[in-house]
Chains A and B, each alone.
Chain A
Amino acid sequence: LSRIGDELYLEPTESGLSLRAVNSSRSAFASFLFAPLFFQLYEPGIAGPDTELFRCKVHMKSFLGVFRSLPSLEKSVGKCLILLKPRASRLVLQLHCKYGVTKTHNLAFQECERLQAVFDTQSCTSRLCAPARVLAEAVVHFPLTLAEVTLGTGPGGKISLQNYVEEAGESCRPSKTMVTQLWLAEDEFQSVAVAPGSHITFCLKEFRGLLSFAEASNLPLTIHFDEPGRPVVFTLDDSVLEVHLVLATLSDLESDAQSTLTNGVSHLPAPSDDFADDLESYMAAMETSEGGSGGPPSPTFSLHTPQPAESDPEEEEEEEEGAVPGTPPHKKFRSLFFGSVMTPGRPGPATTQEVLAEDSDGEC
């Protein structure tokens, strides 16, 4: 929850304690509902005819600070009491530890409105369910700094994940962004019910938080999505816990360029197939658009002191090493250290061996 927002909303309900968070741009919402059975004791309070059950929000950091070091908590804490005292304006967190030690934390809270994102998983056209491990292994290929990822469907029922790149259509990307795409087979999922050709783009950072929780608790993750622009809902379920993460997705209007890319995704042949290599025509276009061939060489590695004047052009043509004066000592060096690995006169165009040619003109 702390990966989403800075404030923790606590909402006791009849069906359990709900902890929620929302991000500042209101594009991500998460809620964890702990059923009464999760707790040793659960008293949500009494709601009157015109008063609702009390709810509040606290600073995320203050709340987390109480549970700072999980390993030591597990060793020393026997019980934890969470008590909401509306009249004292305090949320009390009391840790009952070993040896009769009790740590009481009083957190200031603010009253708040009900925090609820509008979503309905039933109305989503597509649904995927996978073990958290599979999804965790999938996102590991994307850099931690990656903001957005596109989840799509491909031929053969495959599901793809691709980093989202803002690009201006099909022309060459001016920003040298690497595009990473991962394909998962249908049978890696526990269930797949997706509309063909569907895709959504959402923020990976917020999803990673839920994913690590899911992995740690070994629960399968369900992804409910619809058209681009409509939120994607990630859910985790177990007998005492219900988790929802709702993320906004890029609408097709904003992702016009993206749809070019994702159309590419859905029309993509199976990944191992070949793609047309248009490099010959590309190279031809490049070469003809330049002027004549072979302009004067630009000085390269000009910081090096030139070799002694024995670099007779005639002798340079010999590819022999050894006693020939003016042969780059570099090559001689290679035979010193590489021994048989490097043979003199190694294959390759002669031009690459003329490293002493800096002083000569008209190098072609």
Chain B
Amino acid sequence: MAEAEESPGDPGTASPRPLFAGLSDISISQDIPVEGEITIPMRSRIREFDSSTLNESVRNTIMRDLKAVGKKFMHVLYPRKSNTLLRDWDLWGPLILCVTLALMLQRDSADSEKDGGPQFAEVFVIVRFGAVTITLNSKLLGGNISFFQSLCVLGYCILPLTVAMLICRLVLLADPGPVNFMVRLFVVIVMFAWSIVASTAFLADSQPPNRRALAVYPVFLFYFVISWMILTFTPQ
């Protein structure tokens, strides 16, 4: 490369190259030291290139992940069209929510198998495999959202229904009756609508417009089944 630069500028070339005009005069000899520092401007969001996370305390690591999960919870509770949920996906939140929901749907009675309420495994499998099926469906229909992003969104949008489950369990501590049921029905319907709105805000944009309803309907069915399980929960 040095030899090419040493050749004098060819007067035959008509195109003016002011940027490289002086290069033809440069000759790199052996005794000019080439040293210095090559630094990349630090991008603070890329954690995996930052080797200092290996040395940090466990508390920092856990708090960072918990903060990320908490931030995503806030995004679900106030759904706006932001890309944070999609870009920094993680599956911790869906796991926590799924396990919490499945634990709360357990009945306290000793003969719970005979009563036929949903077991922990049934709820877990329905939630996880339901999310996987909806994601596959969305991708097969031609959506341009990645697999784990979709799982992340669907898992996080169960948060309103988990809150509904908590409220229902509290309401069931009062004496049963039609008012009790109406309150629970109202809460579950509101949270169901919230879940659908939150997940549609994130997922609907990834589909071509003539297939949007096809991709949203399974989400509707999924949250409807979960809401049904919450509504029919009786703790005795």
Partners in one complex: no
